[in-house]
Structure 1
Amino acid sequence: MADELKRRLVHASGSGLVALYLLANYLELGLTWQRFRILMVVLAVGTLALEFLRLRVGLEWWIYEKLTREYEQDQIAGYGLYMISMAAVVLVFPSEIALPAMLMLALGDPISGAVSDDTLKRVKSPTVLVTMFVVCTVIAWPFLAPLATLAPIAAALGATIADGVTVKIRDFVLDDNLTIPIYAAVAAWVVLEFVPV
């Protein structure tokens, strides 16, 4: 249980990247969206390098023991997928879509995990689904509602589907650390592009 709490806190720490961008932007410190994109790519590449060292070279740090799950011992860990998906949405989408998508992963996922029973189900319980949807709508609202009222709802729905519906391809389970920001960003983008205001 203690390790699970540590994982959730590390998960939530990703919101610091969004806070860094917003604060630097507010204080006019020169962290443009383009520079933030470069930062996210550097962080994602660094994370993949660590995963390469862990999986191929055998690098074993105590932190891996605490923060990775049993099934991640011989495959890319959730934090690697987390950084890949965050970097992907930052590279592909504008800030008003990418930032809330990042926060849905950083904050929405650990909150929904706290109300989940942590068993692998095809579809999570209604309590988990509603919690994820409400949290993600609240997260997305300040970013997306000024652009289109339906956009935060669509983004939250995308994140909820990514978090709440398990996609299994043979023995491989598609990790929600990879899908939450991507589903949320795509759903918001579709609304902003194709749904009349």
Structure 2
Amino acid sequence: MADELKRRLVHASGSGLVALYLLADYLAIGLTWQYFRYLMIVLSVGVIVLEILRLRVGLEWWLYEKLTREYEQDQFAGYGYYMLSMTAVVLVFRPEIALPAMLMLALGDPISGAVSDDSLKRVKGPKVLVTMFVVSAALAAPFLSHAPLAILAAALGATVADGVTIRIREFVVDDNLTIPIYAAVLAWLVLEFVPI
């Protein structure tokens, strides 16, 4: 239980990236959207290098033991998917779409996990789905207040990604990869194609 709480806190720490971007002007650090994209690329490359070292070379830090799950011991870990999916939405979408999608992963996922029974079901229970939807909509609202349908679409995308397990043969697609991508894509589709 203690390790699970630590994982959730580390998960939530990703919201610090969003905060860094939002506070960049106030802090006078000159972090434009383009520089933020570069930062995310650097972080993703760093994660890939760490995972190669862990899986191929055998690098074993105590941190891996505490923060990775048992099934991740011999495969690309969830934190890698986490960083790659955040980077993908930052590279593809504008801030009003990418930033809430990042927050849905950083904050929405651990909150929904806290109300989940941690069993691997094809579709999670109603309490988990409603929690993820409400939290995701609340996170999207400040960024997409001009487009309520986009808020709902982003929240729906995050909820489906979090709540529906996708299995490709024996491989279970990690929701750390899908949450920001589904949320951002659905928000973008609404903003582009639905009259506001």
TM-score normalized by the length of structure 1:
0.98
- CA distance in structure 1 between the partners assigned to 2:125 and 2:28 by the alignment: 44
- CA distance in structure 1 between the partners assigned to 2:145 and 2:20 by the alignment: 22
Q: Secondary structure at the match of 2:23?
A: helix
Alignment of 1:34-73 (within 5 A): 34-73=34-73
For 2:181, the aligned partner's letter is I
For 2:104, the aligned partner's letter is M
Report the counterpart of residue 100 of structure 1 in structure 2. 100
Q: Provide structure 1 residue ranges, at least 5 long, that are not aligned to the other structure.
A: none
Report the counterpart of residue 180 of structure 1 in structure 2. 179
The Cα shift of 1:25 comes to 3.1
Report the counterpart of residue 161 of structure 1 in structure 2. 160
Alignment of 1:26-37 (within 5 A): 26-37=26-37
The Cα shift of 1:29 comes to 2.8
The Cα shift of 1:28 comes to 4.4
Q: Secondary structure at the match of 1:177?
A: helix
For 1:94, the aligned partner's letter is R
For 1:164, the aligned partner's letter is G
Q: Secondary structure at the match of 1:120?
A: coil
For 2:192, the aligned partner's letter is E
- CA distance in structure 2 between the partners assigned to 1:153 and 1:166 by the alignment: 21
What percent identity do the matched residue pairs reach?
80
Report the counterpart of residue 119 of structure 1 in structure 2. 119
For 1:80, the aligned partner's letter is G
For 1:96, the aligned partner's letter is E
For 1:76, the aligned partner's letter is F
- CA distance in structure 1 between the partners assigned to 2:39 and 2:184 by the alignment: 19
1:37-80 residue CA offsets vs partner (Å, 9 max, x unmatched): 00000000000100000000000000000000000001000000
For 2:166, the aligned partner's letter is V
The alignment's C-alpha RMSD in Å is: 0.7
Q: Stretches of 4+ moved more than 2 A in 1?
A: 25-29
Alignment of 1:13-32 (within 5 A): 13-32=13-32
- CA distance in structure 1 between the partners assigned to 2:26 and 2:180 by the alignment: 24
- CA distance in structure 1 between the partners assigned to 2:101 and 2:118 by the alignment: 23
The Cα shift of 1:27 comes to 4.2
1:11-41 residue CA offsets vs partner (Å, 9 max, x unmatched): 0000000000000034443100000000000
Q: Secondary structure at the match of 1:161?
A: helix
Q: Provide structure 2 residue ranges, at least 5 long, that are not aligned to the other structure.
A: none
TM-score normalized by the length of structure 2:
0.99
Q: Secondary structure at the match of 1:144?
A: coil
Q: How many residues align?
A: 196
For 1:23, the aligned partner's letter is L
Report the counterpart of residue 80 of structure 1 in structure 2. 80
- CA distance in structure 2 between the partners assigned to 1:190 and 1:74 by the alignment: 37
